[in-house]
A and B are shown apart, each in its own frame.
Chain A
């Protein structure tokens, strides 16, 4: 995660967060994830 902090014209701050793919830990394709379609699991 990247964090870029800027000052707005009225003095308030604004922070822009950007992300790299697959950051940190087990991603969406981990074993704990449940496929949406049972056929994806190769079940009869």
Chain B
């Protein structure tokens, strides 16, 4: 059952996918469903002995293209709608023990091609308003499969956080005639203290207003609305800067750092987002130290106010040194 229910108090949709309770949970490596299917071995999701990058429909989707509304549910106050969308799994490599950080630049560059291809294909579907590309990495984040992979949710609406960001950017553009994100990058470049890595076309920085100690935003310096709008040279540069950032993350505490990686870009609802949507990737690692995690507790979850123990300028200096050391 896939349905979305409207929360009129927060004015946002909540997705229900009850079949997901039964999904595979941290199987041993020899029974990984994302590894290739070996001769004589058990059949995995990938019916080949090896592969480079693979995309397939999630077996336990939060949204499905054929979701139908069931009778007798919903009211005028709290309407329901079918959870119509697409959920895909993106396998970065057939090497079970790899991570995005350990992949070569060429493979990351290939992955960027795949992400752009999926953005275009899924976004062209009539019922898809937003293509959300993301990765949950590490058991601290709640991953159920350790094989290196990401996910794509093609939503039938613009999700609340990107929507809020787009509304802010639209308002800024209306008042100032400029892209909010371009001005943020300019400010970070001028200040410099929070910039942690720069390529020819991309800049990574811990934002002035970071919500996590080592939160990083990786921005295209050109105002490209989506990953599909990046040139070949920009895609290569993204692969290089992404690799450097992830290597720095892993050097930070001496272990493969858990994180959420999410991409924000133009919705695919047919609207005009020139000068408003600006492609970027955001990373939210939960660690505040090697042993301690930042929990989204009462203030963060119940009030929406993040309380931070460290200033972004200090964590940026620490992370920048790790990135420079790992090059």
Contact = CB atoms under 8 A, between A and B. Distances in A.
Q: Is the interface of A mostly helix, strand, loop or mixed?
A: loop
Interface string B168-212: 000000000000000000000000000000011000000000000
A7 to B, nearest CB: 10
B327 interface: yes
B236 A14 contact: no
Interface string B5-48: 00000000000000000000000000000000000000001111
A8 interface: yes
B59 interface: yes
Interface string A7-35: 01000111111110101111110101110
Contacts of B106: 19, 21, 27-28
Contacts of A25: 231-233, 235-236
Contact of B105 (A1, A13, A18, A28): A28
Contacts of A28: 105-106, 109, 236, 240
Query: What 8 pairs across the A-B complex have the smallest Cβ distances?
Result: A25-B232, A24-B232, A32-B200, A12-B57, A14-B56, A17-B53, A25-B233, A15-B55
A41 interface: no
Given A14-B55, A15-B54, A17-B110, 11 more contacts: A8-B45, A14-B47, A14-B56, A15-B55, A25-B236, A27-B106, A28-B240, A32-B240, A33-B240, A34-B244, A34-B327
B45 A1 contact: no
A12 to B, nearest CB: 4
B52 A14 contact: no
B56 A17 contact: no
Q: Which of A17, A26, A28, A34 has the most CB of B within 10 A?
A: A17
A21 B51 CA distance: 15
Contact of A12 (B59, B117, B327): B59
A19 B47 CA distance: 19
A21 B110 CA distance: 10
B113 A1 contact: yes
B69 interface: no
A19 B110 contact: yes
28 contacts: A1-B110, A1-B117, A8-B45, A13-B56, A14-B46, A14-B54, A14-B55, A15-B55, A15-B56, A16-B48, A16-B51, A16-B53, A17-B52, A17-B113, A17-B114, A17-B117, A19-B52, A21-B106, A23-B109, A24-B236, A25-B231, A25-B232, A27-B106, A28-B106, A28-B240, A32-B237, A34-B244, A34-B327
Contacts of B110: 1, 17, 19, 23
Contacts of B56: 8, 12-15
Contacts of B233: 25-26, 30
Contact of A17 (B54, B232, B236): B54
Contacts of A12: 56-57, 59
